[in-house]
Amino acid sequence: MLNIASFLDIAAPYRAIFLDSYGVVKNYQGLIPGAPETIRLLREQGKIIRILTNDASRSPEQQASRFAEQGLPGILPAEIITSGMMAKLFLAQKVKSGRVAYLGTTAAASCILQAELPCVPVGSVDLENCADISAMVFLDDEGFDWNTDINKTVNLLNQNNIPVIVANGDKLYPVTQSDVSIATGGIAKLVESILNRKFIHFGKPDTQMFNYAFEDISREGNFMREEVLMVGDTLHTDILGGNKFGIATALVLSGNTHSKDAANWISSTGIIPDHICHSIVG
């Protein structure tokens, strides 16, 4: 039913390749075997590469180092675009004073929120003395006590009417072949549901990240959207966003979307990739 092709055949006509990270280049076990070879071949063919990731917990530099440690050297921080960078831009442009509260690790906060404003984990906020908290950021699902700090976030946001930013809208991430863990976006959704509010979400499928990446490669040459391929494992982020931005899309079956579910999910969501392949390897 699915028309499955080889990744290199699919990629051949495109001049720029946007790759999701988790589920495409790596997974819970490390790099997808053969991924470095594929990326080397793409580069040899003169293609421009960008990694577009909704992982807002680490900076591009940290993610590049991690790729190198895992056996994929040569990815430059400038080739990595994270949803955290979008959130950081928003804060720089729209939040000019006060303190920024966050849920996440201090490492995530230090790399994402290194704006001029002081940052404070929700756990350290004093609810009796928080009128100067001017924005709230959901950064990561780790680094705090879920029970105490999610409840505290609800009460903080009931008191302070401030912009709330979700730096990674993903609801889930895989931790083993079969198990998943609730991600930042899932926790944000709980708080949205409790408060009956919608927060400001960054990351795919929003076209903003695609636009940022497209502007970025346009500094290296003149590109048409038809010359760009987005490669991802998730229909409602990678494929929907790529489709909406007007570039070609390829679904890989090496991550969130399994072979057995792909036809069914495509049909039930109406999010239709231009191409399908097992993985970026073969």
Alpha-carbon distance 56 to 112, whole Å? 7
Six-digit token string for 149: 């700090």
For a second copy, the binding residues in 238-277 under the rule CB under 8 A are 240, 243-247, 264, 266-270, 272, 274
Closest residue by Cα to residue 249 from 264, 276, 229, 271: 229
Nearer to a second copy, 107 or 190 (CB): 190
Cα-based distances in Å from 243 to 36, 167, 183, 225: 26, 22, 24, 11
For position 72 contacting a second copy by CB under 8 A, the verdict is no
Give the helix ranges, DSSP H, for 71-195. 83-94, 106-112, 146-159, 184-195
Q: How far is the CB of 86 from a second copy (least distance, A)?
A: 9
Contact track, a second copy, 124-163, x by CB under 8 A: ---x-------------x---xxx--xx--xx-xxx-xxx
Omega cis (within 30) before 121 = no
b (16+ CB within 10 A) / e for 73-97: eebeeebbbbbbbbbbebbeeebee
CA angle 72–73–78, rounded 5-degree value: 110
Q: Is 15 one of the binding residues for a second copy (CB under 8 A)? A: no
Q: Based on CB atoms, which residue is closest to a second copy, 246 or 282?
A: 246
In the complex, the smallest distance separating the C-beta of residue 278 from a second copy, rounded to whole angstroms, is 22
The answer to the question of residue 40 lying near a second copy (CB under 8 A) is no
Instruction: Give the interface size with a second copy as a residue count (CB under 8 A).
Output: 59
Residue 90 C-beta: closest distance to a second copy, Å: 6
Minimum distance from residue 197 beta carbon to a second copy (Å): 5
Supply the DSSP string of 43-101, one letter for each residue. HHTT-EEEEEE---SS-HHHHHHHHHHHT-TT--GGGEEEHHHHHHHHHHHH--SSEEE
For position 47 contacting a second copy by CB under 8 A, the verdict is: no
Task: List the one residue from 4, 5, 31, 89 that touches a second copy (CB under 8 A).
Answer: 89
* Residue of 79, 206, 233, 238 interacting with a second copy (CB under 8 A): 206
Contacting residues toward a second copy, per CB under 8 A: 89-90, 93-94, 127, 141, 145-147, 150-151, 154-155, 157-159, 161-164, 171-172, 178-182, 186-187, 189-190, 193-194, 196-200, 206-208, 211, 225-226, 236, 240, 243-247, 264, 266-270, 272, 274
